[in-house]
Amino acid sequence: MIQQTIVKVDFPEIQSFLTALDNDRREAFLAYVENTYSIYEIWLYARVIGYDLGFNLLEKWVTKNYPKLNRREILLAETVKLEADVDFLRQQVQADLVKPDAAATRIAHLSKELRGHIVETEKMTKSTDRRGLILAGADKVMRELRSIFKGNEDVINALDLAYESVWAALIEER
């Protein structure tokens, strides 16, 4: 399974990164990539385990090899369709094609579903924004500490172990 995943990589830089990882880390990373929707979380995890290339390169690789559903976009599209359904039903009532009392129940149901979609989209956005800020802060701390202790391999190794511990704690908070 791992070898097949590596073979489908069209990006030699990513291939080198994956090949440099020991089997356990590579397997854990590829499983994480497969099961995680957020490219930012994938990128941060890659940074924790030694990825030092660009975000865009990793994003292109993930997009090509591990396509993701964008649940927020799907929910927004459904919201637009629900709004259109409510408007269409109201137009039918105004054109006397549907009786107002029959339409009232249907409009109430569609409006309730529409409000639920809006609330869920807002929750998803707030959660993503909050998590993104936390991860961005964690990445900034990692980069700064590596920069400060550049050249001191003992400290860098200790920091890498600490990063992996912090990463594990962040993942458990999901």
Q: How confident is the model over 137-161, as a mean pLDDT?
A: 86
Least confident of 11-20, 79-88, 117-126, 150-159: 117-126
Task: Spell out the residues 6+ positions from residue 25 whose beta carbon is closer than 8 angstroms to its own.
Answer: 49
Q: What are phi and psi of 10, to 5 degrees?
A: -100, 5
pLDDT at 36 over 90: no
Tokens of 103: 């339409």
The most confident of 3-7, 66-70, 93-97, by mean pLDDT: 93-97
User: pLDDT value at position 129?
Assistant: 67
Per-residue pLDDT at 65: 92
Domain boundaries, the chain: 2-68, 70-150
**What is the CB-side half-sphere exposure of residue 33 using CA atoms within 13 A?**
23
Per-residue confidence at 6, pLDDT binned at 50, 70, 90?
very low
Which pLDDT score is estimated for 33?
Answer: 93
Helix axes 55-65, 39-48, angle to 10 degrees: 120
Q: What is each CA distance from 169 to 34, 52, 141, 148, 152, in whole angstroms? A: 20, 22, 16, 24, 26
Average pLDDT, stretch 19-23? Answer: 93
20: confidence class by pLDDT, cuts 50, 70, 90: very high
Per-residue pLDDT band for 174 (boundaries 50, 70, 90) equals low
Instruction: Grade residue 135 by pLDDT with cuts at 50, 70 and 90.
Output: confident
Q: What pLDDT digit, counting tens, does each position of 80-95 carry?
A: 999 999 999 999 999 9
> Which residues lie below 8 Å from residue 38, measured CB to CB, with a gap of 6+?
128, 131
Burial of 109 (0-12, 13-18, 19+ CB in 10 A): exposed
Percentage with pLDDT > 70 across the chain = 92
Q: How far is CA 19 from CA 29, 62, 126, in A?
A: 12, 16, 36
With 90 as the cut, is the pLDDT of residue 21 above it? yes
From residue 148, alpha-carbon distances to 145, 151, 155, 159 in Å are: 5, 9, 10, 11
Q: How far apart are CA 40 and CA 25, in angstroms?
A: 18
**How much is the pTM?**
0.57
Cα→Cα distances 87→62, 75, 103, 107, 159, Å:
39, 18, 11, 9, 57
Task: Report, as an integer, the average pLDDT of 92-118.
Answer: 89
How large is the greatest C-alpha to C-alpha distance in the chain, in angstroms? 80
